[in-house]
Amino acid sequence: MFMDQLKALLVGAGGMGRAWATNLLAYDAVKLVGWVDLRREVAEQAVAALNLGDLPIYVDIVPAIAELQPDFVVDVTIPEAHYDVTLRALGAGLPVLGEKPMADSMHRAREMVAASERAGKLYMVSQSRRYHAQLHALRRLVVEQIGTPGILTSDFFLGPHFGGFREAMAHPLLLDMAIHTFDAARYLSGSDPVAVYCEAWNPEWSWYAGAASATAIFEMTGGLRYIYRGSWCSEGQPTSWEAEWRIVGPRGTAAWDGHNPPTAEVVTGTEGFFHPMEPCVAQVEADMPSGIAGSLRDFVHALRTGNTPMGECHDNIKSLAMVFAAIESAETGRRVIIAD
């Protein structure tokens, strides 16, 4: 048990809010001291479901901060509310750990980064799928075995029937899900986006109102080309939620199916029509905290040490920029330059 637990104020009591509450309760470095939701009855139901007794409930973050004096805020509201919650928390001098996406527009995202700078407080976006032991193992294969990549591809094909708001969105795949894959591409390659050409469409059988399929070619720093292919209306032969990856560098190729430990083949000589290769299997950390648990621990470690966590806002905004640039390209039919 940590003697100096950090007090957490949780904002948002929907399904993801409950998932975050469960993780906060399971981590002995923090203490959940209050829950905020505009719909008080939803928060009350969540508190009851998790047997949290008399945990304080609020419908406004301002009095919650004033009365509970938390050490940080966890924002699990809808994307349109991230801007207001984050600015209020940072304005009160509190670090923020927020759900993805950072914001519902690039303009708002830039203002949120600026607010973090003004406050001198950490604002981290929980890009929870970065906390995956096999993804980290794949990154090590890239760095240690195949070298700086020049070709990176990902395939993401699933057929989830969510119902609700996703099926009414104009760009459900790109706006709600692709940021995970785009962010992983940045992590794996160590490169940042320069420009993108994207096409997004909706097959006639799709149960979504908006474009549930997309193909994009990103130009990345260092000359890397990243090719994304994805669909959320693909029934049968599903990929992993983590996508399927191929990374080609000067010394060989690494691959990951999103389920099993990643592998690579590395060039070992220069003779023959096809040069000789040697297989490599990545070493995967057995006890690495994954998903939300990984995000939370990275955030708390950053608060205690001053280290920069994955998902820190100045870095995460680059992944968000990939999303909005891809949508702009799809809507205009043009190659879009991604601003710094």
261 shares its domain with 112 = no
CA 326 – CA 323 distance, rounded (Å): 5
Of 208, 11, 203, 180, nearest to 101 by C-alpha is 180
Judge if 259 and 214 occupy the same domain.
yes
d(CA 10, CA 178) in angstroms, rounded, equals 26
CATH number of the domain encompassing residue 280: 3.30.360.10
Instruction: Classify residue 316: in a domain, yes or no.
Output: no
Amino acid identity for residue 56 in this structure: P
The pair of three-digit structure tokens given for residue 62, joined into one six-digit string: 């301002």
Q: For a pLDDT cut of 70, what percent of the chain falls above it?
A: 99
- CA distances, 19 to each of 96, 132, 200, 229 (Å): 17, 17, 31, 29
Yes or no: say if 165 and 212 are a contact pair by the CB < 8 Å rule: no
- Who's near 156: CB < 8 A, 6+ residues apart? 177, 178, 181, 228, 229, 230, 231, 239, 243, 244
Distances (CA, A) of 109 to 80, 103, 336: 11, 5, 19
What average pLDDT is seen over the chain?
96
Structure confidence by residue, pLDDT tens digits, 187-230: 999 999 999 999 999 999 999 999 999 999 999 999 999 999 99
1 pLDDT higher than 70: no
* The pLDDT of residue 220: 98
**H-assigned helices in 128-177:** 133-141, 172
> How many domains does one find in the chain?
2
User: What is the predicted pLDDT for the residue at 2?
Assistant: 45
- How would DSSP label each residue in 171-227? SHIIIIIHHHHHHHHHHHH---EEEEEEEEE--TT-SSSS--EEEEEEEEGGG-EEE
Residue type, 127: Q
- CA atoms of 79 and 97, how far apart (whole Å): 14
CA nearest to 191, candidates 338, 22, 82: 338
Pairing of strands 225-231, 96-99: unpaired
Same-domain pairing of 69 and 147: no
What residues does 125 pair with on adjacent strands? 98
Let me know if residue 304 belongs to a domain: no
Question: What is the per-residue pLDDT across 159-180, written as a single tens digit (0 to 9) for each?
Answer: 999 998 889 999 999 999 999 9
Question: Same domain for 165 and 185?
Answer: yes
307 closest CA partner among 297, 322, 316, 317:
297
Q: Do 105 and 234 reside in the same domain of the chain?
A: no
First-to-last alpha carbon distance for the chain, in angstroms, is 43
- The torsion of the CA quartet 138, 141, 143, 145, rounded to 10 degrees, works out to -160
Q: Which of 81, 96, 121 is the last residue of a domain?
A: 121
Q: Which structure tokens are listed for 68?
A: 């509970």
Question: In this structure, is residue 308 part of a structural domain?
Answer: no
Rounded mean pLDDT, 128-150: 96
- Beta-carbon contacts of residue 198 (< 8 Å; ≥ 6 apart): 174, 214, 215, 216, 217, 325, 326, 327, 329, 330, 336
Q: Would 313 be classed as within a structural domain?
A: no
In a domain, 297, yes or no: no
Q: What digits encode the pLDDT tens for the residues 88-132? A: 999 999 999 999 999 999 999 999 999 999 999 999 999 999 999
d(CA 178, CA 172): 9
Q: Are residues 175 and 106 in the same domain?
A: no
Which runs of E-coded beta strand occur in the chain?
6-11, 30-36, 57-58, 72-75, 96-99, 123-126, 151-157, 193-201, 213-220, 225-231, 244-249, 252-256, 263-267, 277-281, 336-337
If pLDDT is split at 50, 70 and 90, which confidence band does 340 have? low
pTM of the model: 0.94
Please indicate, yes or no, if residue 311 is contained in any of the structural domains: no
Q: Which whole number is the average pLDDT over 21-46? A: 97
Residue found under tokens 């693909």? 234
Over 70: is that where the pLDDT of 15 sits? Answer: yes
Residues of the domain holding 22: 6-121
Confidence of residue 331 (pLDDT cuts 50, 70, 90): very high
